[in-house]
Structure 1
């Protein structure tokens, strides 16, 4: 579907149909203003659990709560009209059982109005994915480098860098495809592995630090805009230095308040 021909929100089936037809574009958002700005340009917006780090300044994504996810996702949905909106399920809200996952995923979709959800996890979660899909919840499966598994993985490390881990990622992908996931998100995966998974997948693969061969790409918006802090992951291309613009604006505002040049009478009420 052409970006310029779209007049209503992109649906999950339409997103799936883009595989092999055109590249899929995605960015993260968790506030209405940012979501509204990107809405005309992206195919889907991911309300990522990265919100915990870039929005709240926390050290990991692990303590993002269900209520926070719902609130941010609702803000994104209510301020957009074109992009498909996918919510990232927080750690601990879906791993216990398929039943737990359904209760929480259904709550997120019903209360936020999002179009789909994303789960992190390998083949062990395939049963949960199948359970959700059969009950009307579209699932994007996130494999490879999984931030919610940071304590098990020993940090944010690229995955699939040797034969055994590469085969494990491919097995994870096949399990989720068989379970009915509508898309695979591949993060921090060796390029050749991501390419192979894309070739075998009948549904779109979305890369972040994966391969140009993926059917689409997603970045954390703060990283792409230069707002992500000092450490910039290798896979990020910075398209603007919004951080510097904000610093300059703040510095100018502070200077003008202190020297008395702001506000002026034109900024006041009851003045002719």
Structure 2
């Protein structure tokens, strides 16, 4: 008897979780196994992040090059595999900056073609009209302020934002403006804890922190970072819960060694043939193709 998939977490439940003081758990994922693992772990939200540019697609040090088509493929894959978690599609650089019309058109593609439940875009200011337009089109939208990786160069690199009093007040104002524009959720990245706390307390929509302290309504980490699949320097806000890169290397090295020394595959990995059929096969093949 097959088990029915879990019901999709209703979007209003996210705001209800904030009101009840229940933490929201978000993680990135980019493929079917990642989505299924997140599902099985009881994760509430999956972000198909444009971080795929660096951790999956091999672009060096920036999220900017990833395309709409690439993000649509990844989002479609995750949405097919994740039943209960809310699937959020990251709108890549260039897919919403030009105009409200472009933003709506591309947001619709994420929902209609890829099965996303929500879309996410970075920034406030000029992006507020984009948020309003997408929400007016009936698509739930996630805002993202603080360190915005798509425009990190303009921010002076991958640095903490809102460290001065004026900058911190600006982030609070941006957060309130995004809520007023219709955003259903807000990601705060690389923001000092006191600033994230103030924003979280002022908003009625949930906040999801990444490097923004423990007092946000939820947290998100990149799948490859928390599992130890990423290598090299990682931001200080990353906690590794496993070291899978070493385990994977060990497994591949063991496999290669066994193939080379002939111990894999062993008899237990081969398919047997009935003795009578094997004898008949050997006779038939010797007649058909003499040695």
Which of the five TM-score ranges fits, normalised by the shorter chain? Answer: over 0.9
- Structure 2 CA distance, aligned partners of 1:264 and 1:271? 16
Count residues in correspondence: 267
SS at 1:228 equivalent = coil
Which residue does the alignment assign to 1:249?
Answer: 251
Which residue does the alignment assign to 1:46?
Answer: 47
| CA offsets 1:155-212 (integer angstroms, 9 cap, x no match) | 1000011112111111111110110100110000111111100010101000000021
Q: TM-score, normalised by structure 1?
A: 0.95
SS at 2:19 equivalent = coil
Which of the pair has more CA radius of gyration? 2
Deviates more, 1:194-203 or 1:115-124: 115-124
Which residues of structure 1 form unaligned runs of 5+? 1-5
Which residue does the alignment assign to 2:183?
Answer: 181
Q: TM-score, normalised by structure 2?
A: 0.89
8 Å contact kept, 1:122–1:169: no
Which residue does the alignment assign to 2:288?
Answer: none
Residue of 132, 135, 151 corresponding to 2:134: 132
8 Å contact kept, 1:26–1:42: yes
| CA offsets 1:193-245 (integer angstroms, 9 cap, x no match) | 11100010101000000021100000001000111111121001111111111
Which residue does the alignment assign to 2:110?
Answer: 108
Runs of 4+ in 1 over 4 A off after TM superposition: none
Which residue does the alignment assign to 1:23?
Answer: 23
SS at 1:20 equivalent = helix
Deviates more, 1:46-55 or 1:122-131: 122-131
Q: Give the deviation of 1:152 after TM superposition.
A: 0.7
SS at 1:63 equivalent = coil
Which residue does the alignment assign to 2:7?
Answer: 8
Which residue does the alignment assign to 1:74?
Answer: 76
Which residues of structure 2 form unaligned runs of 5+? 275-291
Which residue does the alignment assign to 1:239?
Answer: 241
Q: Give the deviation of 1:53 after TM superposition.
A: 0.4
Query: In angstroms, what is the RMSD of aligned CA positions?
Result: 1.3
| CA offsets 1:88-117 (integer angstroms, 9 cap, x no match) | 000000011111100111011100111000
- Structure 2 CA distance, aligned partners of 1:16 and 1:104? 26
